[in-house]
Amino acid sequence: MNIKFVFVLLLIFAAKISTISAQDALSMADTVIIGGDTLIMLGDSLIFTTEEEPTYWKRGGNFNLSLQQVSLSNWAAGGASSFALNTGLQLFANYKKENIIWDTNLTINYGINRQTGRAYPTRKSNDNFIFISKYGRQLSKTIYLSTQIDARTQLIEGYRYYRESGADRDSRSRLSDFLSPGYVQSSTGLNYQTTSKNGAKFSSILSPFTGRFTVVLDDSLSNAGAFGVVPGEKVKPEAGISLNTTADFKVMENVSWKMDLNLFTNYEKLGNTVVNFNSVISLKVNKYITTRIATIMIYDESVYVPQDEGPATRAIQLQNLINFGIGLDF
């Protein structure tokens, strides 16, 4: 009986010794750093820990949606029931490694309004597709040698609505379609680009080597010589000089402003400048609710805009949108 008791005590003592030895091994582990990697040696075991690799890509975007509905029934003051929808998607993917940058942005906006009691009750109110990608190699702290691709069009058919004299309902004529027109601009030049400590971004690229292509794939529009193409031709090529400026910064807390200004002039007609200006002011109410004030201004001397009275003429094209609705950043 005593021998068994002594044997049990020896087993317990041996277990305690093993536990203490393991704890000592952990506390006295050897650590070796080789080429930035940490090598930890615990007895017969090896544990490798590697430093996290830097992230060169930054991706994200924004989705916004706003709805408006007016429903009238037996309304003595008059009026018409209506429904309006506006939606937008902005995506970006930016790459930066050492002296190389590559910034890509995609913007898609679409909106409709529907009103009862009129011909063609559903009509497009907003439609644009903008893709911009810029690749640059750093020459100094703020100067880059950059190449940029800028492509713009709309997604579906666009119409002009009018009412002829003596008619009791509206008529319409088709003005545009997907890639009718489409504008593709390729430019290479010097880019001044800077980012402030508070995150504000500014970029301006001046390119004396710019190719601009006006695309009209729709047969009826190209045959009519719409958007400055030679009647019957699908593409109008131009060579010239361009200036593209973008800015993105916070005006104040929960208020931000993004703008894009693109100027192009043809070498054959210097001084006749094509202007594309886009501005978005975002007022964030909370994480999900946002008010957006969007402005688009376009001037192109080769585009003749139909008028309610008289012939089509050159004019400044202007669009203003104020949306209050869902805004999600990701």
Q: Indicate whether 135 and 40 sit together in one domain.
A: no
Q: Indicate whether 122 and 12 sit together in one domain.
A: no
Q: Is residue 252 domain-resident?
A: yes
Q: Which phi and psi (to 5°) does residue 218 adopt?
A: -70, 130
Q: 3-class DSSP state for residue 139?
A: coil
- Cα Rg of the chain (Å, integer): 32
Q: Indicate whether 173 and 280 sit together in one domain.
A: yes
Lowest-confidence range among 21-35, 155-169, 295-309? Answer: 21-35
Tokens 């805009």 belong to which residue?
305
Q: Is residue 57 domain-resident?
A: no
What is the model's pLDDT at position 290? 94
Strand-by-strand arrangement of the 45-49 sheet: 30-34, 37-42, 45-49
Q: Indicate whether 97 and 21 sit together in one domain.
A: no
Q: Is residue 11 domain-resident?
A: yes
Q: Indicate whether 171 and 303 sit together in one domain.
A: yes
C-alpha dist (Å) from residue 233 to 183, 217, 266, 279, 306:
15, 9, 19, 33, 21
| Burial degree of 141 (CB within 10 A; 0-12, 13-18, 19+) | exposed
Asked whether the beta carbons of 172 and 160 are under 8 A apart, the reply is yes
Q: Is residue 99 domain-resident?
A: yes
CB burial of 270-294 (b: ≥16 within 10 Å; e: otherwise) equals eeebbebbbbbbbbbeeeeebbbeb
Residue 311 banded pLDDT, cuts 50, 70, 90? confident
User: How large is the average pLDDT for residues 142-171?
Assistant: 94
Say which residues have a Cβ less than 8 Å from residue 275's Cβ, sequence separation at least 6: 261, 262, 263, 297, 298, 299, 300
Q: Which two tokens stand for residue 136?
A: 């640059």
For CA atoms 174, 177, 179, 184, the dihedral sign is positive
Q: Is residue 56 domain-resident?
A: no
**Residue 289, beta-bridge partner list:** 326
Q: Indicate whether 246 and 276 sit together in one domain.
A: yes
User: How large is the average pLDDT for residues 290-315?
Assistant: 91
Q: Is residue 58 domain-resident?
A: no
Percent of the chain having pLDDT more than 90? 72
Q: What is the pLDDT of residues 52-87, one digit of tens each?
A: 778 899 999 999 999 999 999 889 998 899 999 999
Distance CA 113, CA 126 (A): 9
User: How large is the average pLDDT for residues 118-130?
Assistant: 95
Q: Indicate whether 7 and 144 sit together in one domain.
A: no
Q: Indicate whether 14 and 77 sit together in one domain.
A: no
Q: Indicate whether 254 and 164 sit together in one domain.
A: yes
Q: Is residue 54 domain-resident?
A: no
Say which residues have a Cβ less than 8 Å from residue 214's Cβ, sequence separation at least 6: 181, 182, 183, 227, 228, 229, 235, 236, 238, 302
Q: What is the β-pairing status of strands 317-329 and 289-299?
A: antiparallel
CB burial of 187-200 (b: ≥16 within 10 Å; e: otherwise) equals bbbebebeeeeeee
Say which residues have a Cβ less than 8 Å from residue 196's Cβ, sequence separation at least 6: 249
Distance CA 181, CA 217 (A): 8
Q: Is residue 222 domain-resident?
A: yes
Q: 249: domain CATH number?
A: 2.40.230
Q: Indicate whether 9 and 144 sit together in one domain.
A: no
Q: Indicate whether 148 and 18 sit together in one domain.
A: no
Looking at the 3D structure of the chain, how many domains does it have? 2
H helix or E strand, kind and range, residue 9: helix 2-27
Lowest-confidence range among 143-147, 160-164, 177-181? Answer: 160-164
Decide if pLDDT at 25 tops 50: no
Q: Indicate whether 110 and 82 sit together in one domain.
A: yes
Structural domain containing residue 251: 64-329
User: How large is the average pLDDT for residues 232-257?
Assistant: 95
